[in-house]
Structure 1
Amino acid sequence: MTEETKPMRAPWGDIAPKLTEITDTILFDDVWRRPGLSARDRSMITVASLISLYRINELPFHLGKALENGVTRDEIVEMVTHLAFYAGWPTASTAIGLVRRTFAEADARSASVA
């Protein structure tokens, strides 16, 4: 199974099974797999939206998925830089801290696999 076809799954099945079910079947299986956009494009849109809306709880997960879906580190940093002027400086500042942490975690995972 490639990274692009690897299914995303909600992480709260232990406490909210119905929310998990509808998240997995509607959001991750239907919305994310529609043919109109690639997973990479959807990741870029999602990350930009989460940054703009200051959704810092969901951002780390989607930053990781963006990397898995082929969005480059340079592109992610450029999105944050661009959004600083549209979503606000504090929003971008918070996002870049989460980006740094996500990159470090990805590096640590790569090092442990190598």
Structure 2
Amino acid sequence: MSCRSEVRSVSPTLADYTITKIERGLWLRPGLSRKDRSIVTLAALLANGQRISMAHYFNNALDEAMKPAELSELVTHLAFYAGWPNAFAAVDVLKDNYIGLDAVTLGRALRARKARRAA
């Protein structure tokens, strides 16, 4: 249940907090770039085995100019600190989200995703 409308249908206040406190608050603070925030967030999610949010934040990282190879390296690096099972859980999420795609296919996939978000 990561879709904004699904969250809103179950917990409107949680959906509002997500937008106002996280998206329009925390993520816009000075001091860290959005790419750096993506790395930190993904590290925390992976370390805690929080699969439900990983795809969303992997997609955010790609939006912030991280390359699929960088995401792969992030998972590999974190395996040593957060554990192999958590890293393999992230691999399971990533295998469905752009890893291994060539640049042209990745570009098409990202443009299509952005168009769906805008709709």
Structure 1 length-normalised TM: 0.80
Secondary structure of 1:80's partner? Answer: helix
Q: Give the structure 1 partner of residue 27 of structure 2.
A: 32
Counterpart code for 1:84: A
Counterpart code for 1:110: R
Unaligned residue ranges in structure 1 (runs of 5+): 1-8
Q: Give the structure 2 partner of residue 110 of structure 1.
A: 108
Unaligned residue ranges in structure 2 (runs of 5+): 113-119
Root-mean-square deviation (Å): 2.2
TM alignment of 1:9-88, pairs within 5 A: 10-11=4-5, 12-88=7-83
What is the distance in 2 between the residues matched to 1:40 and 1:49? Answer: 14
Structure 2 length-normalised TM: 0.77
Secondary structure of 1:82's partner? Answer: helix
Q: Give the structure 1 partner of residue 115 of structure 2.
A: none
Could you list the runs of 4 or more consecutive aligned residues of structure 1 that deviate by over 2 angstroms after TM superposition?
106-109
Q: How many residues align?
A: 104
**As a proportion of its length, which structure holds more helix?**
2
Offset at 1:91?
A: 1.0
> Is the Cα–Cα contact under 8 Å of residues 10 and 24 in structure 1 kept in the other structure?
no
Percent of pairs identical after alignment? 33
